[in-house]
C-alpha cells in the first residue's frame, strides 16, 4: 500500500505525492477522475482517455501479429482446432 498526503492551496490546488505519481505513472496532462462514495470515501483514478494516449506506455514483449494471423487464430478457436 502506498500512502501520501497533500495540502489544498488557497486556489484549491494540490500536489500529488511523488511516490503515488510514480506508482501510477501519472504524467503531466493526465486527467484524474474523482468519486466520493456514499460512505464519504474519496477515490481518485486516472480518467479513461482515448487509446492513443496509451501509446508508448505499454512495452511489447513479442513480435507483431498480422490481421490475417489473428483472423486465422479466431477461426481455429471457433472450430475447436
CATH of the domain at 24: 2.10.260.10
**59 in a structural domain:** no
CB 33 within 8 A of CB 47: yes
**79 in a structural domain:** no
pLDDT per residue of the chain (81 residues) written in tens, 0 to 9:
899 999 999 999 999 999 999 988 899 989 999 999 999 999 988 887 666 666 666 666 777 888 888 888 898 888 876
CB 26 within 8 A of CB 14: no
**76 in a structural domain:** no
Amino acid at each position: 500500500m502506498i500512502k501520501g498526503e497533500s495540502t489544498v492551496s488557497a486556489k484549491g490546488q494540490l500536489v500529488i505525492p511523488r511516490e503515488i505519481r510514480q506508482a501510477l505513472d501519472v504524467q503531466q496532462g493526465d486527467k484524474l477522475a474523482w468519486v466520493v462514495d456514499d460512505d464519504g470515501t474519496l477515490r481518485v483514478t486516472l480518467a479513461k482517455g482515448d487509446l492513443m494516449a496509451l501509446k508508448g506506455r505499454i512495452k511489447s514483449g513479442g513480435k507483431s501479429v498480422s490481421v490475417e494471423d489473428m483472423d486465422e487464430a479466431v477461426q481455429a478457436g471457433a472450430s475447436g482446432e
